[in-house]
Amino acid sequence: MFNNLTLGRSAQHKADLPVGVLFMVALAIAAACLFLTMALIDFGPAEQPLVTLVASHLEQSGVENPVTAVLLNFRSYDTLLEVAVLLIVALAVMPANSEQSKVRFISVLVPTERSFVLEAFLRWLLPAIVVTSGYLLWTGAALPGGAFQAGALLAGAGILLLLAGHHSFNFNASAARLLLVVGLAVFLLVGAAVILSSGIALAYPQAWAGILILVIEVAATLTIAAILVLLFCALQVEAPRANYEGLIKEERP
Amino acid sequence: MTQAMLYAVFGIVLFGVGLFGALAIAHVMKKLLAINICGVGVFMVFIANASSGVAADYVPHAMVLTGIVVAVAGTAMALSLVVRINTLEQQEEDA
């Protein structure tokens, strides 16, 4: 990804700190770490009133997995802001180009070099990844899993597709823009809509909590996957080249 | 010393290593990696402390999960700045 980037040219001109200063910095950090360790040992095993608090309210949350309950119900503001942070970063790194908004989200390329093994492998792998991602999303209600894990897995599928060289993504397409915002939009809509029933933002009514959390998580999964793939695309300095193809070619007569 | 405590102490060590790297290394890319190591150290202390009771505390788990995603976003942001700095420097050298 960063092969072609001669990173930190300034770093080559600008020498590292002198050894004396480095030594002082190391000493100060070592002292700080020692102090932190002492504090940690002195602190002892922490009391955890939140464990019982979460456990006693788990029934109201609409899900059985306490971590998901904390993420999407008890402390859903955190997660809402997290999705917002992701969107802000996506906007910051996105190569905004309104002229490209008419180009389709996924366009099929004709690769100059083909790898049949990779193609066949991806044909098996990509559906499996999508299904696994859906499973992770669904199982997040009761077991470890959820929107972030599912989104990350889906993003992996997207990046694999990109690296295979047959497809390119255009995040200025309206479909892509929709994907980038749908997570935050649905989260905000649900959060605002529940004011009608409970009077408090993001406080889901108990009977609806499970389904509302699932709706938010589905939208968040799509957005997280789209944003992660966007980050990968945007930070690509040049299009990936399949070097292994070149190697194979040289052996041919 | 319990197992959780051991993890916490190593988290502090990772934090120290990362902090030293972030302060001492001039190379921007390595500096960014060092900041990431620093962050992982913080997560590790947090998670290790959550398990020191009878049952693991779910709230730090959820917060670290949130933190990981925010760290990824922050790293991406920093990387795009690194790429931009590099482009500008190359232009400057060419000129």
Q: Would you list the domain boundaries of chain A?
A: 62-251
Q: Which residue range(s) make up the domain with B60? A: 3-94
Decide if B80 and A79 are in contact by the 8 Å CB cutoff.
no
Show residues of chain A in contact with B6, CB under 8 Å.
none
C-alpha pair distances (Å), B82 with each of A8, A171, B66: 8, 22, 24
Q: What is the pLDDT of residue B52?
A: 60
- Angle between the N-to-C axes of helices B58-94 and A147-164, in degrees from 0 to 180, rounded to the nearest 10: 30
Query: Which of the residue ranges A211-220, A238-247, B28-37 would you say has the lowest mean pLDDT?
Result: A238-247
Question: Does the pLDDT of residue A138 top 90, yes or no?
Answer: yes
Query: Which of the residue ranges A15-19, A80-84, A105-109, A245-249 would you say has the lowest mean pLDDT?
Result: A245-249
Decide if B61 and A15 are in contact by the 8 Å CB cutoff.
no
Q: CA nearest B67 in A: which residue?
A: A82
Which residues, 6 or more positions from A188, have their beta carbon under 8 angstroms from its beta carbon?
Answer: A80
The torsion angle over the Cα atoms of residues B30, A9, B82 and B33, rounded to 10 degrees, is: 0
Distance of CA A220 to the CA centre of its chain: 10
Query: Which of the residue ranges A50-59, A77-86, A232-241, B10-19 would you say has the lowest mean pLDDT?
Result: A232-241
Which of A11, A48, A85 lies closest to B73 in CB terms?
A85
* Proportion of chain A above pLDDT 90, given as a percent: 38
Query: Which of the residue ranges A16-25, A225-234, B74-83 would you say has the lowest mean pLDDT?
Result: A16-25
Instruction: Provide mean pLDDT across the span A239-252.
Output: 44
How far apart are the CA of A44 and the nearest CA of chain B, in angstroms?
A: 9
Give the count of domains, chain B: 1
- The residue among B38, B65, B89 with the most chain A CBs within 10 A of its CB, best to mutate, is B65
Decide if B24 and A17 are in contact by the 8 Å CB cutoff.
yes
Q: CA nearest B28 in A: which residue?
A: A8
Question: Does the pLDDT of residue A247 top 50, yes or no?
Answer: no
Q: CA nearest B10 in A: which residue?
A: A37
Decide if B53 and A47 are in contact by the 8 Å CB cutoff.
yes
pLDDT: which is higher, A109 or A231: A231
- φ and ψ at residue A114, rounded to 5 degrees: -115, 145
Q: What is the pLDDT of residue A243?
A: 44
How far apart are the CA of B30 and the nearest CA of chain A, in angstroms?
A: 9
- φ and ψ at residue A227, rounded to 5 degrees: -70, -40
Decide if B27 and A11 are in contact by the 8 Å CB cutoff.
yes
Show residues of chain B in contact with A228, CB under 8 Å.
72
Decide if A78 and B49 are in contact by the 8 Å CB cutoff.
no
Question: Does the pLDDT of residue A238 top 60, yes or no?
Answer: no
Q: What is the mean pLDDT of chain B?
A: 88
What is the Cα–Cα distance from A134 to A183, expressed in whole angstroms?
16
Decide if B57 and A51 are in contact by the 8 Å CB cutoff.
yes
What is the Cα–Cα distance from A154 to A162, expressed in whole angstroms?
13
Contact predicate A58/A66, CB 8 Å: yes
CATH of the domain at B90: 1.10.287.3510
C-alpha pair distances (Å), B6 with each of A35, A41, B9, B11: 15, 10, 5, 8
The burial class, CB within 10 Å (0-12 / 13-18 / 19+), for B4 is middle
How far apart are the CA of B91 and the nearest CA of chain A, in angstroms?
A: 12
Give residue A214's pLDDT band: very low, low, confident or very high (50, 70, 90). Answer: very high
Show residues of chain B in contact with A148, CB under 8 Å.
65, 68-69
Instruction: Provide mean pLDDT across the span A154-177.
Output: 88
CB pairs under 8 A between A and B: 138
Decide if A10 and B85 are in contact by the 8 Å CB cutoff.
yes
Show residues of chain B in contact with A41, CB under 8 Å.
5
Decide if B61 and A5 are in contact by the 8 Å CB cutoff.
no
